[in-house]
Homo-oligomer: A and B are copies of this chain.
Amino acid sequence: METITNIKEMQARCLAARSAGQTIAFIPTMGFLHDGHLSLLHEGRKRGDLLVLSIFVNPTQFGQGEDLERYPRDFNRDEMMARECDVDLVFYPDATSIYPNGYATYVTVEGPLTNTLEGACRPTHFRGVTTVVTKLLTIVMPHVALFGRKDFQQLAVIRRMTADLNLPVEIVGMPIIRENDGLAMSSRNVYLSASERQQSLSLIDSLTAAASVVKAGERAASAVVTKTVDRLKSEPDLKVDYVKICNAETLEEVDEIDQKSVMLLAVKIGKTRLIDNGLLMEQA
């Protein structure tokens, strides 16, 4: 395994691999790897001759007052975990090489995919995500890139962006990986105190409860949303950002629940923001 920090060197290596007929599988991350990331690396290992991991805490996707500074970082640990996953190249650039002096170019996906849900709560977030992912994809030029479905909306936005910009890459969405008690894996989980950690189980609880109610016959989205908000609000330190039931492809809110309906949750527990989501009907 090799770690590369220089952009031009990384790009030259990847273009050379591509020209030599190797397929490149790519997992872009912000580091502080957990089992969710590892599941992407394991799948990537199967799909690419060259397995590339990037670690970059991207400043442009954090809003003012968000947790850019305190976002957890541990490069040595990440490197060890990457080695165990048989990663070939770790791309580890710094912020001033990704956004040098005079940097001025941004990629935006406009409209309903980005102005609801996370986009409504974090107005510049997706602009930062699509900009850095475009840059990473033009540097690494992978055949396939893998993303977790915990960031459900991000995955939809990236699918749209890569299709729209004709980037020659297959985007693969992978299942959410959870702790034993059901909390979705996230680098931000380390922020949680013991009491907050306990309260965070209300997310998986309410997703499970919603699916049960739907299984029992409920089809009205508003009824399921109300029940979910009530459940979440029973936690003392939890503030609901949103609870919405949307079409899984367009992310438009739906009135009536069907096979394509996904429930998306965002909450703050103390100072920590958590998101989660789940399809509401068993898939055929």
B160–A104 CB distance below 8 A: yes
Asked if A19 is an interface residue, CB under 8 A from chain B, the answer is yes
In the complex, chain B residues whose CB is within 8 Å of the CB of A107: 105-107, 165
Asked if A247 is an interface residue, CB under 8 A from chain B, the answer is no
Residue of A7, A15, A108 with most chain B CB atoms under a 10 A cut-off? A108
Closest B-chain residue to A134, C-beta based?
B165
Closest B-chain residue to A7, C-beta based?
B166
Contact with B along A136-169 (1 / 0, CB 8 A): 0011000000000000000000001100111110
**CB proximity to B under 8 Å, residues A7-21:** 7, 11, 15, 18-19, 21
Q: Give bound CA distance, A105 to B159, whole Å.
A: 11
Q: Give bound CA distance, A106 to B126, whole Å.
A: 13
A7-B166, A105-B110, A134-B165 known, 19 other contacts, Cβ within 8 Å: A11-B166, A15-B168, A19-B19, A104-B109, A104-B113, A104-B160, A104-B164, A105-B160, A105-B161, A105-B165, A106-B107, A107-B107, A107-B165, A108-B108, A135-B165, A138-B165, A138-B166, A138-B167, A138-B168
Query: What are 10 inter-chain pairs, A to B, with CB distance below 8 A?
Result: A104-B160, A104-B164, A105-B108, A105-B109, A105-B164, A106-B108, A108-B108, A134-B165, A138-B138, A138-B166
